């Protein structure tokens, strides 16, 4: 940078010299006594009128200049060469220096805040970095803080593409809440948006079967340990209603505490009281009280209640079929669909040696859809692997067609050297489909994948080793 500044100084000096030479070469001192109009430089020799015939200026001793200018071409040429050289080299040096300047540092704060919602990962990262710098240097005007808070509240619901920025904007809101900076409406919005809860149940259920359901919790609050006090959430007093009548659901505890930054999926099942619920369509509702606390996790007495929403209710329409109606599960056996199903699946196998147990191995199987593919038909099957003439259970698989998936089965033991390959068998099971949320039309044939190679895995990366 010092060399560039020195070059820029030299170019500025050369430019001044060049301009001076141009000036003295184009406008030298007058020599002689020839009269000229002081306004237009017209030669007044022999003119008897009292006005300049060129511009009409009155002729007098005050408006007449005497002498001729003789331009000096050498000075003009030298001045032009020096000026062009100085401008060219100085322009390149200046451009190099300008590229090293962090111009974003001088961007108006309102524009920087708007960049947080640009949707571009590099722009979002740069904007949040600049906002953090201005906050630390106390360069963030108080008039802009409400705009930043409102933007962060919108990002809490519609997260930016960068995960780190998403978490740090949430933690900024949480710190503002603790410091009492948030207005009442802003604080209520922040706490209300901390928990995103979804409820899904099987839409069509056969007679005598349980209604499988799942409720999904996605926390949108500060991470554990990031603040002086932890923020956590409590779900309590759950109730499940079918057509307004209570159901006894398994899989939902009376009180459930969760950190506000975690995500969990809770499976639920309930046996239908058919004598009270004849076939038909019903609203299946999940209700609970939601509380947000600030303090030690799980300790209500030692924590401060920040927010409470009583009887938050989530509802889905379900169809209960009679015994004489067709089953909600249909089997697909079209060979063309079966081939498409095989083509979109990718299987991998890994093995791990048990720590401290020579000769004993743990194996795991991974089944997933190939990139940019989806299942042409749903799958509900029990998974087995076969080698050395024996079959080993490798888990169960129940997946719909609405999204790509990746299934990592539970590990199984095997004594002896790890096989180089084995066969994988998918055996359809309608009971698994009935226990799923979205499997209705399923592949009905057994699928065998021959000679799936195994590869050594790292327990450090994938800790599947048992005790």
SS3 letters across the chain: CHHHHHHHHHHHHHHHHHHHHHHHHHCCCCEEEEEEECCCCCECCCCCCCECCCCCCECCCCCEEEEECCCCHHHHHHHHHHHHHHHHHHHHHHHHHHHCCCHHHHCCHHHHHHHCCCCCHHHHHHHHHHHHHHHHCCCCCCCCHHHHHHHHHHHHHCCCCCHHHHHHHHHHHHHHHHCCCCCHHHHHHHHHCCEEEEEEECCEECCCCCCCEEEEEEECCCCCCCCCCCEEEEEEEEEEEECCEEECEECCCCEEEEECCCEEEEEEEECCCCCCCCCEEEEEEEEEEEEEEECCCCCCCCCEEEEEEEEEEEEEEEEECCCCCCCCCEEECCHHHHHHHHHHEEEEEEEEECCCCCCEEEEEEEEEECCCCCCCCEEEEEEEEEECCEEEEEEEEEECCCCCCEEECCCEEEECCCCCEEEEEEEECHHHHHCCCCCCEEECCCEEEEEEEEEECCCCCCCCCCC
Residue 423 domain boundaries: 330-456
pLDDT digits (tens, 9 = 90+) for 375-386: 999 999 999 988
User: Looking at the structure, do residues 303 and 394 belong to the same domain, yes or no?
Assistant: no
| pLDDT reading at 113 higher than 50 | yes
pLDDT of residue 232: 93
Most confident region among 98-112, 240-254, 298-312 by mean pLDDT: 298-312
Shared domain for 286 and 382, answered yes or no, is: no
Q: Are residues 176 and 201 in the same domain?
A: no
Domain count across the chain? 3
In a domain, 405, yes or no: yes
From 88-102, 146-160, 282-296, the region with the lowest mean pLDDT: 88-102
- Same-domain check for residues 113 and 185: yes
Asked whether residue 340 falls in the same domain as residue 431, the answer is: yes
Other CB atoms within 10 Å distance of the CB of residue 121: 13
Tell me whether residue 238 is in a domain: yes
Residues 215 and 257 in one domain: yes
Task: Assess whether 258 and 270 both reside in one domain.
Answer: yes
- Cα(282)–Cα(318) distance, rounded to whole angstroms? 5
152 found inside a domain: yes
pLDDT at 464: 30
| Claim to verify: residue 359 and residue 448 sit in the same structural domain | yes
Of the three residues 174, 192, 210, the one that is the final residue of a domain is 192
Q: Is the pLDDT of residue 462 over 50?
A: no
Residue 213 domain-assigned (yes or no): yes
Of the pLDDT bands very low, low, confident and very high (cuts 50, 70, 90), residue 123 is: very high
Is residue 337 domain-shared with residue 219, that is, in the same domain? no
Q: Residue 467 — very low, low, confident or very high, per pLDDT cuts 50/70/90?
A: very low
Do 293 and 342 have their domain in common?
no
Over residues 325-330, the mean pLDDT reads 87
CA distance 464 to 467: 10
**Which of 320, 338, 372 corresponds to the end of one domain?**
320
Asked if pLDDT for residue 388 goes beyond 90, the answer is no
User: pLDDT band at residue 176, thresholds of 50, 70 and 90?
Assistant: very high
pLDDT at 417: 67
In a domain, 111, yes or no: yes
Residue 56 is predicted with a pLDDT of: 83
Q: How confident is the model at residue 40 (pLDDT cuts 50, 70, 90)?
A: confident
Out of 320, 351, 369, a domain closes at: 320
The rounded mean pLDDT for the chain is 84
Token representation of residue 407: 């299934």
Domain co-membership, 304 together with 420: no
How confident is the model at residue 414, as a pLDDT?
A: 64
Same domain as 351, residue 255: no
Residue 98 covered by a domain: no
When mean pLDDT is compared across 97-106, 119-128, 298-307, 381-390, the lowest value belongs to: 97-106
């Amino acid at each position: 940078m010092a060399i560039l500044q020195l070059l820029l100084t030299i170019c500025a000096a050369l430019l001044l010299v060049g301009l001076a030479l141009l000036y003295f070469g184009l406008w030298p001192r007058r020599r002689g006594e020839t009269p000229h109009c002081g306004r237009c430089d017209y030669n007044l020799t022999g003119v008897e009128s009292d006005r300049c015939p060129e511009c009409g200026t009155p002729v007098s001793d005050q408006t007449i200049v005497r002498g001729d200018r003789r331009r000096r071409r050498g000075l003009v040429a030298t001045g032009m060469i020096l000026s062009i050289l100085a401008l060219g080299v100085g322009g390149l040096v200046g451009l190099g220096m300008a590229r090293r300047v962090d111009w974003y540092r001088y961007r108006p704060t309102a524009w920087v805040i708007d960049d947080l919602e640009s949707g571009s990962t590099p722009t979002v990262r740069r904007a949040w970095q600049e906002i953090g710098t201005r906050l630390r240097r106390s360069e963030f005007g108080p008039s802009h803080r409400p705009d930043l808070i409102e933007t962060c509240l919108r990002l809490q619901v519609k997260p930016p593409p960068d995960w780190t920025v998403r978490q740090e904007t949430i933690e900024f809101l949480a710190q503002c809440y603790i410091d009492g900076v948030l207005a009442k409406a802003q604080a209520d919005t922040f706490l209300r948006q901390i928990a995103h809860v979804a409820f899904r149940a099987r839409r069509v259920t056969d007679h005598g079967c349980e209604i499988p359901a799942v409720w999904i919790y996605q926390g949108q609050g500060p991470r554990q340990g990031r603040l002086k006090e932890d923020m956590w959430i409590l779900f309590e007093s759950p109730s499940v209603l079918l057509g307004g009548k209570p159901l006894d659901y398994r899989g939902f505890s009376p009180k459930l505490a969760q950190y506000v930054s975690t995500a969990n999926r809770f499976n639920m099942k309930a046996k239908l009281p058919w004598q009270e619920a004849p076939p038909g369509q019903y609203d299946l509702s999940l209700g609970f009280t939601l509380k947000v606390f600030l303090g030690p996790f799980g300790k209500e007495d030692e924590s401060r209640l920040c927010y409470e929403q009583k009887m938050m209710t989530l509802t889905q329409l379900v169809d209960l079929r009679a015994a004489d109606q067709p089953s909600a599960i249909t089997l697909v056996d079209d060979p063309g669909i079966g081939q498409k199903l095989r083509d979109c699946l990718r299987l991998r196998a890994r093995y791990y040696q048990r720590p401290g147990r020579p000769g004993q191995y743990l194996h795991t199987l991974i089944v997933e859809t190939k990139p940019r593919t989806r299942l042409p038909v749903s799958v509900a099957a029990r998974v087995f692997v076969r080698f050395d003439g024996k079959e080993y259970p490798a888990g169960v698989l129940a997946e719909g067609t609405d999204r790509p998936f990746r299934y990592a089965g539970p590990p199984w033991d095997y004594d002896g050297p790890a096989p180089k390959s084995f066969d994988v068998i998918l055996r359809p099971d309608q009971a698994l489909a009935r226990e799923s949320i979205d499997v209705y039309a399923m592949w009905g044939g057994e699928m065998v994948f021959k000679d799936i190679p195994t590869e050594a895995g790292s327990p450090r990366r994938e800790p599947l080793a048992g005790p």
